[in-house]
Amino acid sequence: MDIFIQQIINGLILGSIYALVALGYTMVYGIMGLINFAHGEVVMIGAMVALSVIKLLENSGLPVFLLLLFGLAAAALVCMAVGFTIERIAYRPLRRAPRLAPLITAIGVSIVLQNLAMLIWGRNYHAFPPILPTTSMTIFGATITSLQVAIVLIAALMMIGLMILINRTRLGRAMRATSENPSIAQLMGVNINQIISFTFVIGSALAAVAGLMVSANYSIAHYYMGFMLGLKAFTAAVLGGIGNIAGAMLGGILLGLIESLGAGYIGDLTGGFLGSHYQDIFAFFVLIGVLVFRPSGLIGEKVSERA
Protein backbone atom coordinates (compact mmCIF):
# COMPACT_ATOMS: atom_id res chain seq x y z
CA MET A 1 0.00 0.00 0.00
CA ASP A 2 2.79 2.41 0.86
CA ILE A 3 4.14 1.74 -2.60
CA PHE A 4 0.85 2.79 -4.12
CA ILE A 5 0.81 5.98 -2.05
CA GLN A 6 4.39 6.63 -3.09
CA GLN A 7 3.42 6.28 -6.74
CA ILE A 8 0.54 8.71 -6.25
CA ILE A 9 2.92 11.19 -4.64
CA ASN A 10 5.45 10.67 -7.45
CA GLY A 11 2.70 11.38 -9.92
CA LEU A 12 1.60 14.48 -8.07
CA ILE A 13 5.10 15.95 -8.07
CA LEU A 14 5.71 15.16 -11.71
CA GLY A 15 2.24 16.40 -12.54
CA SER A 16 2.78 19.68 -10.71
CA ILE A 17 5.88 20.29 -12.77
CA TYR A 18 4.00 19.57 -15.97
CA ALA A 19 1.20 21.81 -14.77
CA LEU A 20 3.56 24.70 -14.04
CA VAL A 21 4.89 24.56 -17.58
CA ALA A 22 1.46 23.89 -19.06
CA LEU A 23 0.11 27.08 -17.47
CA GLY A 24 2.40 29.09 -19.71
CA TYR A 25 1.25 27.26 -22.82
CA THR A 26 -2.36 27.59 -21.98
CA MET A 27 -2.23 31.30 -21.16
CA VAL A 28 -0.75 32.19 -24.49
CA TYR A 29 -3.14 29.87 -26.24
CA GLY A 30 -6.11 31.29 -24.42
CA ILE A 31 -5.33 34.81 -25.55
CA MET A 32 -3.97 34.27 -29.03
CA GLY A 33 -4.96 30.77 -30.08
CA LEU A 34 -1.30 30.08 -30.72
CA ILE A 35 0.82 27.17 -29.56
CA ASN A 36 3.95 28.80 -28.28
CA PHE A 37 6.27 25.95 -29.16
CA ALA A 38 9.22 27.87 -27.76
CA HIS A 39 7.81 27.86 -24.24
CA GLY A 40 9.82 24.79 -23.25
CA GLU A 41 12.99 26.61 -24.23
CA VAL A 42 12.00 29.59 -22.10
CA VAL A 43 11.74 27.18 -19.17
CA MET A 44 15.22 25.95 -20.02
CA ILE A 45 16.57 29.51 -20.10
CA GLY A 46 14.94 30.08 -16.70
CA ALA A 47 16.60 26.99 -15.27
CA MET A 48 19.98 27.94 -16.68
CA VAL A 49 19.89 31.52 -15.45
CA ALA A 50 18.67 30.56 -11.99
CA LEU A 51 21.31 27.91 -11.71
CA SER A 52 24.11 30.21 -12.83
CA VAL A 53 23.10 32.95 -10.39
CA ILE A 54 22.82 30.52 -7.49
CA LYS A 55 26.17 28.99 -8.35
CA LEU A 56 27.68 32.46 -8.43
CA LEU A 57 26.30 33.39 -5.02
CA GLU A 58 26.67 29.95 -3.51
CA ASN A 59 29.68 30.87 -1.40
CA SER A 60 28.51 34.33 -0.44
CA GLY A 61 27.08 33.08 2.82
CA LEU A 62 23.56 34.18 2.04
CA PRO A 63 20.76 32.04 3.45
CA VAL A 64 19.34 29.43 1.11
CA PHE A 65 16.03 31.20 0.91
CA LEU A 66 17.65 34.40 -0.38
CA LEU A 67 19.81 32.46 -2.81
CA LEU A 68 16.74 30.88 -4.33
CA LEU A 69 14.98 34.21 -4.42
CA PHE A 70 17.85 35.92 -6.20
CA GLY A 71 18.10 33.04 -8.64
CA LEU A 72 14.41 33.18 -9.30
CA ALA A 73 14.37 36.95 -9.69
CA ALA A 74 17.18 36.88 -12.20
CA ALA A 75 15.61 34.01 -14.08
CA ALA A 76 12.23 35.71 -14.13
CA LEU A 77 13.72 38.95 -15.46
CA VAL A 78 15.63 37.21 -18.21
CA CYS A 79 12.69 35.01 -19.14
CA MET A 80 10.32 37.96 -19.24
CA ALA A 81 12.68 39.79 -21.55
CA VAL A 82 13.02 36.71 -23.72
CA GLY A 83 9.27 36.15 -23.81
CA PHE A 84 8.62 39.78 -24.66
CA THR A 85 11.18 39.67 -27.45
CA ILE A 86 9.86 36.41 -28.87
CA GLU A 87 6.38 37.82 -29.10
CA ARG A 88 7.58 41.07 -30.65
CA ILE A 89 9.84 39.48 -33.24
CA ALA A 90 8.33 36.15 -34.07
CA TYR A 91 4.61 36.36 -33.39
CA ARG A 92 3.32 39.91 -33.60
CA PRO A 93 4.14 40.46 -37.27
CA LEU A 94 2.31 37.25 -38.07
CA ARG A 95 -1.01 37.89 -36.39
CA ARG A 96 -2.77 38.19 -39.69
CA ALA A 97 -0.78 35.46 -41.36
CA PRO A 98 -1.99 31.91 -42.04
CA ARG A 99 -2.41 29.90 -38.89
CA LEU A 100 0.68 27.74 -39.33
CA ALA A 101 3.12 30.57 -39.99
CA PRO A 102 3.65 31.40 -36.29
CA LEU A 103 4.08 27.69 -35.61
CA ILE A 104 7.09 27.64 -37.91
CA THR A 105 8.59 30.78 -36.38
CA ALA A 106 8.03 29.19 -32.96
CA ILE A 107 10.07 26.20 -34.05
CA GLY A 108 12.70 28.56 -35.40
CA VAL A 109 12.81 30.43 -32.10
CA SER A 110 13.09 27.15 -30.28
CA ILE A 111 16.12 26.10 -32.33
CA VAL A 112 17.71 29.52 -31.90
CA LEU A 113 17.24 29.56 -28.12
CA GLN A 114 18.60 26.06 -27.77
CA ASN A 115 21.75 26.81 -29.66
CA LEU A 116 22.23 30.17 -28.02
CA ALA A 117 22.04 28.42 -24.68
CA MET A 118 24.59 25.92 -25.91
CA LEU A 119 26.92 28.76 -26.85
CA ILE A 120 26.46 30.49 -23.51
CA TRP A 121 26.38 27.58 -21.08
CA GLY A 122 28.30 25.01 -23.05
CA ARG A 123 27.42 21.48 -23.93
CA ASN A 124 27.82 19.91 -20.52
CA TYR A 125 25.15 19.08 -18.01
CA HIS A 126 24.99 21.42 -15.06
CA ALA A 127 24.37 20.16 -11.58
CA PHE A 128 22.26 22.24 -9.23
CA PRO A 129 24.39 23.39 -6.28
CA PRO A 130 23.70 21.24 -3.22
CA ILE A 131 22.20 24.02 -1.15
CA LEU A 132 18.85 22.45 -0.50
CA PRO A 133 18.17 20.18 2.46
CA THR A 134 18.03 16.58 1.32
CA THR A 135 16.06 15.33 4.25
CA SER A 136 12.81 13.72 3.35
CA MET A 137 9.72 13.17 5.41
CA THR A 138 7.55 10.11 5.54
CA ILE A 139 3.80 10.18 5.02
CA PHE A 140 1.96 6.85 5.23
CA GLY A 141 5.21 5.08 4.46
CA ALA A 142 5.92 7.22 1.41
CA THR A 143 8.79 9.68 1.24
CA ILE A 144 8.73 13.22 -0.04
CA THR A 145 11.26 16.02 0.25
CA SER A 146 10.44 19.52 1.42
CA LEU A 147 11.29 20.86 -2.03
CA GLN A 148 8.74 18.53 -3.56
CA VAL A 149 6.09 19.71 -1.14
CA ALA A 150 7.01 23.24 -2.16
CA ILE A 151 6.65 22.36 -5.84
CA VAL A 152 3.14 21.04 -5.41
CA LEU A 153 2.15 24.07 -3.33
CA ILE A 154 3.73 26.57 -5.68
CA ALA A 155 2.02 25.04 -8.69
CA ALA A 156 -1.33 25.28 -6.92
CA LEU A 157 -0.63 28.84 -5.78
CA MET A 158 0.38 29.88 -9.28
CA MET A 159 -2.81 28.50 -10.68
CA ILE A 160 -4.95 30.24 -8.09
CA GLY A 161 -3.04 33.47 -8.60
CA LEU A 162 -3.53 33.29 -12.33
CA MET A 163 -7.20 32.61 -11.98
CA ILE A 164 -7.61 35.59 -9.70
CA LEU A 165 -5.63 37.71 -12.13
CA ILE A 166 -7.79 36.70 -15.03
CA ASN A 167 -11.18 36.65 -13.39
CA ARG A 168 -10.94 39.38 -10.78
CA THR A 169 -8.76 42.18 -12.10
CA ARG A 170 -9.15 44.89 -14.67
CA LEU A 171 -6.22 43.50 -16.57
CA GLY A 172 -7.78 40.07 -16.52
CA ARG A 173 -10.96 41.45 -17.95
CA ALA A 174 -8.99 43.01 -20.77
CA MET A 175 -7.30 39.68 -21.34
CA ARG A 176 -10.58 37.86 -21.51
CA ALA A 177 -11.96 40.48 -23.87
CA THR A 178 -8.94 40.13 -26.14
CA SER A 179 -9.32 36.40 -26.13
CA GLU A 180 -13.01 36.62 -26.97
CA ASN A 181 -12.74 39.06 -29.85
CA PRO A 182 -9.66 41.19 -30.31
CA SER A 183 -11.15 43.74 -32.67
CA ILE A 184 -14.11 44.49 -30.46
CA ALA A 185 -11.87 44.56 -27.42
CA GLN A 186 -9.84 47.17 -29.23
CA LEU A 187 -12.94 49.20 -29.95
CA MET A 188 -13.73 49.10 -26.25
CA GLY A 189 -10.41 50.76 -25.57
CA VAL A 190 -8.29 47.72 -24.77
CA ASN A 191 -4.73 48.09 -25.99
CA ILE A 192 -4.48 44.55 -27.24
CA ASN A 193 -0.79 44.77 -28.15
CA GLN A 194 -0.05 45.61 -24.58
CA ILE A 195 -2.29 42.83 -23.31
CA ILE A 196 -0.65 40.24 -25.51
CA SER A 197 2.83 41.40 -24.53
CA PHE A 198 1.75 41.21 -20.94
CA THR A 199 0.45 37.68 -21.38
CA PHE A 200 3.78 36.59 -22.78
CA VAL A 201 5.66 38.25 -19.97
CA ILE A 202 3.56 36.53 -17.31
CA GLY A 203 3.80 33.20 -19.10
CA SER A 204 7.57 33.58 -19.23
CA ALA A 205 7.79 34.45 -15.56
CA LEU A 206 5.90 31.23 -14.86
CA ALA A 207 8.41 29.47 -17.05
CA ALA A 208 11.21 30.85 -14.88
CA VAL A 209 9.54 29.45 -11.78
CA ALA A 210 9.10 26.11 -13.50
CA GLY A 211 12.70 26.15 -14.66
CA LEU A 212 14.01 26.70 -11.16
CA MET A 213 11.75 24.01 -9.75
CA VAL A 214 12.75 21.45 -12.35
CA SER A 215 16.46 22.06 -12.07
CA ALA A 216 16.33 22.07 -8.27
CA ASN A 217 14.23 18.94 -8.01
CA TYR A 218 16.25 16.87 -10.45
CA SER A 219 19.45 18.82 -9.72
CA ILE A 220 20.22 18.99 -13.38
CA ALA A 221 20.02 21.58 -16.13
CA HIS A 222 21.01 21.29 -19.73
CA TYR A 223 20.39 23.33 -22.84
CA TYR A 224 18.32 20.53 -24.32
CA MET A 225 16.00 20.03 -21.36
CA GLY A 226 13.23 22.27 -22.68
CA PHE A 227 12.17 20.14 -25.59
CA MET A 228 10.90 17.07 -23.75
CA LEU A 229 9.43 19.11 -20.93
CA GLY A 230 7.65 21.41 -23.35
CA LEU A 231 6.24 18.46 -25.22
CA LYS A 232 4.89 16.83 -22.07
CA ALA A 233 3.46 20.08 -20.81
CA PHE A 234 1.84 20.78 -24.15
CA THR A 235 0.26 17.32 -24.00
CA ALA A 236 -0.95 18.08 -20.49
CA ALA A 237 -2.45 21.40 -21.55
CA VAL A 238 -4.35 19.77 -24.40
CA LEU A 239 -5.51 16.93 -22.18
CA GLY A 240 -7.05 19.38 -19.77
CA GLY A 241 -8.43 21.60 -22.49
CA ILE A 242 -5.97 24.10 -23.87
CA GLY A 243 -6.71 27.70 -23.10
CA ASN A 244 -8.17 26.85 -19.74
CA ILE A 245 -6.12 27.59 -16.62
CA ALA A 246 -7.72 24.95 -14.42
CA GLY A 247 -7.55 22.58 -17.34
CA ALA A 248 -3.80 22.96 -17.56
CA MET A 249 -3.49 22.15 -13.89
CA LEU A 250 -5.82 19.18 -14.15
CA GLY A 251 -4.16 17.92 -17.32
CA GLY A 252 -0.70 18.25 -15.79
CA ILE A 253 -1.56 16.40 -12.61
CA LEU A 254 -3.44 13.75 -14.54
CA LEU A 255 -0.57 13.20 -16.96
CA GLY A 256 1.85 12.93 -14.05
CA LEU A 257 -0.36 10.36 -12.34
CA ILE A 258 -0.87 8.39 -15.54
CA GLU A 259 2.84 8.25 -16.20
CA SER A 260 3.69 7.33 -12.67
CA LEU A 261 1.04 4.67 -12.24
CA GLY A 262 1.61 3.47 -15.77
CA ALA A 263 5.32 2.95 -15.17
CA GLY A 264 4.64 1.43 -11.79
CA TYR A 265 1.89 -1.01 -12.61
CA ILE A 266 1.72 -1.56 -16.35
CA GLY A 267 4.14 -4.48 -16.08
CA ASP A 268 2.21 -6.27 -13.35
CA LEU A 269 -1.13 -5.59 -15.00
CA THR A 270 -0.08 -7.12 -18.31
CA GLY A 271 1.74 -10.01 -16.73
CA GLY A 272 5.11 -8.64 -17.74
CA PHE A 273 4.17 -8.41 -21.40
CA LEU A 274 4.36 -4.62 -21.45
CA GLY A 275 6.82 -2.78 -19.26
CA SER A 276 7.64 0.73 -18.21
CA HIS A 277 8.94 1.41 -21.72
CA TYR A 278 5.31 1.67 -22.74
CA GLN A 279 4.65 4.41 -20.20
CA ASP A 280 4.50 7.13 -22.85
CA ILE A 281 2.30 5.03 -25.09
CA PHE A 282 -0.01 4.53 -22.17
CA ALA A 283 -0.17 8.30 -21.67
CA PHE A 284 -0.84 8.96 -25.34
CA PHE A 285 -3.57 6.33 -25.49
CA VAL A 286 -5.30 7.97 -22.56
CA LEU A 287 -4.94 11.30 -24.34
CA ILE A 288 -6.40 9.96 -27.56
CA GLY A 289 -9.18 8.26 -25.65
CA VAL A 290 -10.07 11.45 -23.84
CA LEU A 291 -9.99 13.53 -26.99
CA VAL A 292 -12.10 11.07 -28.95
CA PHE A 293 -14.87 11.38 -26.39
CA ARG A 294 -14.24 14.98 -25.42
CA PRO A 295 -12.73 16.60 -28.51
CA SER A 296 -11.81 19.78 -26.66
CA GLY A 297 -10.14 18.31 -23.63
CA LEU A 298 -11.45 17.49 -20.21
CA ILE A 299 -12.71 20.93 -19.24
CA GLY A 300 -11.90 22.92 -22.34
CA GLU A 301 -14.48 25.18 -23.86
CA LYS A 302 -16.25 23.68 -26.81
CA VAL A 303 -14.59 24.70 -30.01
CA SER A 304 -17.11 26.13 -32.39
CA GLU A 305 -17.82 24.03 -35.45
CA ARG A 306 -16.38 26.82 -37.53
CA ALA A 307 -12.76 26.20 -36.82
Partner 1 sequence: MSYLRISSMTLAVAAAISLIGCGQKEEPKPAPAPAPVAAPVPPPKPEVTVRLGHVAPLTGPQAHLGKDNENGARMAIDELNAQGLEIGGAKVKFDLVAEDDQADPKQGTIVAQKLVDAKVNGVIGHLNSGTTIPASKIYFDAGIPQISGSATNPKYTQQGFTTAFRVMANDVQQGKVLGEFAAHQMGGKKIAIIDDRTAYGQGLADEFEKAILAAGGKIATREFTNDKATDFAAILTKIKSKKVDVVFYGGMDAQGGPMAKQMKSLGVKAKFLTGDGGCTPEFIKLAGEASEGQFCSLPGVPLDQMPGGKAFGDAFTAKYGQIQLYAPYVYDAVMVMVDSMKRANSVESAKFLPEIGKSDYQGVSAKVQFDDKGDLKGGAISMYQVKDGKWEYRETIGGSPAEMVKEAVKDAAAAVKDAAVATGEAAKDAVKGAAMEGAKAAADVAKGAADATKSAAEATKAAVEKK
Partner 2 sequence: MMAQLPGLGQFRRDKSAAVIASIVMGIVLAALPFLIGSGLGNSWLRIVDFAMLYIMLALGLNIVVGFAGLLDLGYIAFYAVGAYLYALLASPQFGLHYPVWLIIPAGAALAGFFGALLGAPTLRLRGDYLAIVTLGFGEIVRIFLNNLNAPINITNGPQGISGIDPLHFGGVTLAKPISFLGFTIPSLHAYYYLFLGLALFIVFVTIRLENSRIGRAWVAIREDEIAAKACGINTRNIKLLAFTMGASFGGVAGGLFAGFQGFVSPESFNLMESIMVLCMVVLGGMGNIPGVILGGVMLTILPEIFRHGAGPVQLALFGKILLDPEALRMLLFGLALIVVMLYRPAGLWPSTTRRREFKGESTTDVLKEGE
- Interface residue with partner 2, options 67, 109, 158, 159 (CB under 8 A): 109
Footprint on this chain of partner 1 (rule: CB under 8 A): 3, 6-7, 10-11, 13-14, 17, 115, 118, 122-125, 127, 130, 134, 136, 143, 145, 214, 218-220, 222, 224-225, 227-228, 259-265, 267, 275-277, 279-280
Give 56 or 298: the residue with its C-beta nearer to partner 2. Answer: 298
The identity of residue 190, as a single letter, is V
Give 123 or 170: the residue with its C-beta nearer to partner 2. Answer: 123
The DSSP letter of residue 146 is: H
Residue 1 as a binder of partner 2 (CB under 8 A): the answer is: no
Q: Distance between CA atoms of 292 and 150, rounded to whole angstroms?
A: 35
Residue 266 as a binder of partner 2 (CB under 8 A): the answer is: no
CB 43 to partner 2: min, Å = 17
Beta pairing partners, 143: 138
Residue 95 as a binder of partner 2 (CB under 8 A): the answer is: yes
Return the closest-CA partner of residue 78 out of 37, 58, 106, 50. Answer: 50
Of these partners, partner 1, partner 2, none, which one is at the site of residue 218 (CB under 5 to 8 Å by kind)? Answer: partner 1
- Interface residue with partner 2, options 3, 69, 118, 153 (CB under 8 A): 118
Cβ atoms of 211 and 203 within 8 Å: the answer is no
Q: Report the run of H or E that residue 239 belongs to, with start and end.
A: helix 225-240
Which SS3 state, helix, strand or coil, does residue 139 take? Answer: strand
CB 183 to partner 2: min, Å = 4
Name the E strands within the chain: 126-127, 136-139, 142-145, 220-221
Q: Distance between CA atoms of 193 and 178, rounded to whole angstroms?
A: 10
Give 108 or 141: the residue with its C-beta nearer to partner 2. Answer: 108
Cβ atoms of 53 and 74 within 8 Å: the answer is yes
Report how far apart the first and last C-alpha atoms of the chain are (Å, whole number).
47
Give 33 or 141: the residue with its C-beta nearer to partner 2. Answer: 33
**Total length of the chain:** 307
- Binding-site ranges for partner 2 (CB under 8 A): 29, 32-35, 89-90, 93-105, 107-112, 114-116, 118-119, 182-183, 186, 192, 231, 234-235, 238, 242, 273, 277-278, 280-281, 284-285, 287-288, 291-292, 295-297, 303, 305-307
